[in-house]
Amino acid sequence: MATFIYPTVKRVTSEFRSNSRPDHHGTDFAQPGYHEIKAVANGKVTRSYESDSYGQCVMIEHKINGDTWESVYAHMRDGSRKVSVGDKVKQGQVIGVMGNTGHSFGQHLHFELHKGNWNINKTHAVDPEKYLGKNLYSPNLKVDGKWGTKTTRALQKALGTVEDGIISDQLKNDVTKMIVSGITFSQGGSLVIRTLQRKIGATVDGYLGPETVSELQKYLGTPIDGVISDPSLVVKELQRRLNKGNF
């Protein structure tokens, strides 16, 4: 799954910071006819307004694997904006229609992508064509059903916790009898497991016990028995989703 999908048609009419337009901090997509504009990723609307330069414009903040991004959709058709500030949007959700408002010379979408929040000087702007349609966060895990250090590190990245590949000490919890080799232990409760428990609705105690495993199985749609076997169906599904960036 792409981290950022294309916001509209893929026909590019003006590139990012080209020799002829070094101050063009986005990519222009254009095509005659009626073309919807879609959110490139899940996020929260930070601006939905009319600007002298951007015309009818929407900006969306995206929090992805601990990183902040912001996307900008400008020159949309009058009256076509479908979202307001504070709205949560899903990837692919229609937020407007391609138009010709603001400082524009013909129907098109001016699209910007910022790694970090948008600012007036566009210091965080990146070339959208290098990011759209790609899975930017794939850990390239081997889907083998074995929960080892690489899977732990990928889960930590997806959940925004410390990326050390370590699940904390669980020697007082009989779940250690279920876990196969490949996991490194340290002392204390596990931050990544507590974060995982909050995400899947399990009791938050920092231990990967049978209840947490059952809730994870339920969350991922695999058979529910509260056990991580060797290899494990639930771990395979977890690895697949981490690779796709949609856990």
Q: What value does the mean pLDDT of the chain take?
A: 90
Q: Tell me: the pLDDT tens digits for 167-183?
A: 875 544 444 444 444 55
Q: Tell me: the pLDDT tens digits for 13-42?
A: 999 999 999 999 999 999 999 999 999 999
Confidence (pLDDT) at 175: 47
Confidence (pLDDT) at 221: 97
Query: Does position 102 have pLDDT exceeding 60, yes or no?
Result: yes
- For residue 185, what are the β-bridge partners? 167
Q: Tell me: the pLDDT tens digits for 126-148?
A: 999 999 998 888 888 999 999 99
3-state helix, strand, coil in the chain (%, to 5): 20, 25, 55
Spatial separation of the C-alpha atoms in residues 65 and 54, rounded to whole Å:
29
Confidence (pLDDT) at 95: 98
Structural domains in the chain, sorted by start: 12-130 (2.70.70.10), 149-244 (no CATH)
Please name which of 137, 5, 19 lies closest in space to residue 60, comparing C-alpha atoms: 5
Q: Mean pLDDT throughout 223-247? A: 91
Contacts of 161 (CB under 8 A, 6+ apart): 191, 192, 195
Q: Please, what's the b/e burial string for 124-163 (b: 16 or more CB within 10 A of its CB; e: otherwise)?
A: bbbebeebbeeeebebebeeebbbbebbbbbbbbbbebeb
Q: 177 in the Ramachandran plot: left (φ > 0), alpha (ψ -120 to 50) or beta?
A: alpha
Spatial separation of the C-alpha atoms in residues 18 and 119, rounded to whole Å:
20
Least-confidence region, from 56-65, 122-131, 153-162: 153-162
Q: What's the 3-state SS for 153-191? A: HHHHHHHCCCCCCEEECCCCCHHHHCCCCCCEEECCCCH
Distances (CA, A) of 228 to 132, 175, 202, 218: 36, 9, 16, 13
Residues found in the chain: 247
Confidence (pLDDT) at 200: 96
Confidence (pLDDT) at 230: 85
Q: Mean pLDDT throughout 95-105? A: 97
Question: pTM for the whole thing?
Answer: 0.67
Three-state secondary-structure class, residue 219: helix
Query: Does the N-terminal peptide bond of residue 22 adopt cis geometry, omega within 30 degrees of 0?
Result: no
Contacts of 130 (CB under 8 A, 6+ apart): none
